[in-house]
Amino acid sequence: MKPRIVLDTNVLISALRSRNGASFQVLEKVGRDFFDIVLSVPLVLEYEDVAKRTTRAIGLKHADIDDILDYLCRVAVLRGIFFLWRPFLKDPCDDMVLEVAVEGDCDFIVTHNVKDFAGVEKFGLEVLRPGEFLRRLEELK
């Protein structure tokens, strides 16, 4: 069975900034049957807000961000959030990622800020950096 993941916003932004890193490699695998990505409306709105605020710095237009987000929504497992785990983590945006991961029965949260998700193992989740997640994918083959 394919693993289910939630991408923290910092991984998406990192992938949009550079094609050289593990974040881009993870994003490039979305929709290609390696894993399922799980999204909620609030998380997509967070992605959009942060990505569009940084378009100038990352060399993309708002329409490019819209296209990327449309693709992610098309290939993702979309989940509604009917319960809140807040406050569980220090940052409300991280709580939003946790809620999607729990509701979506995810295996992993992929983030650059692993320590921000301390304690989520109580929910059966593992928190990995993008490079660690790619290595885990290789192990799961």
CATH number at residue 75: 3.40.50.1010
- Chain mean pLDDT for the chain: 92
Number of domains in the chain: 1
The model's pTM: 0.93
Cis peptide before 92 (omega within 30 of 0): no
pLDDT digits (tens, 9 = 90+) for 17-63: 999 999 999 999 999 999 999 999 999 999 999 999 999 898 999 99
Cα–Cα distance for residue pair 133/69, rounded to 1 Å: 21
Question: Has residue 90 got a pLDDT over 90?
Answer: no
* pLDDT at residue number 96: 87
Chain centroid to CA 49: 14
Q: Looking up tokens 């909620």, which residue turns up?
A: 40
Tokens of 33: 């049957």
pLDDT at 140: 85
Q: Is 85 left (phi over 0), alpha (psi -120 to 50) or beta?
A: alpha
Q: Give the model's pLDDT for residue 91.
A: 65
pLDDT band for position 87 (cuts 50, 70, 90): low
- Residues sharing a CB contact under 8 Å with residue 124, sequence separation 6 or more, in sequence order: none
Q: Does 137 have pLDDT greater than 90?
A: yes
Owning domain of residue 38 = 4-140
pLDDT digits (tens, 9 = 90+) for 57-80: 989 999 999 999 999 999 999 998
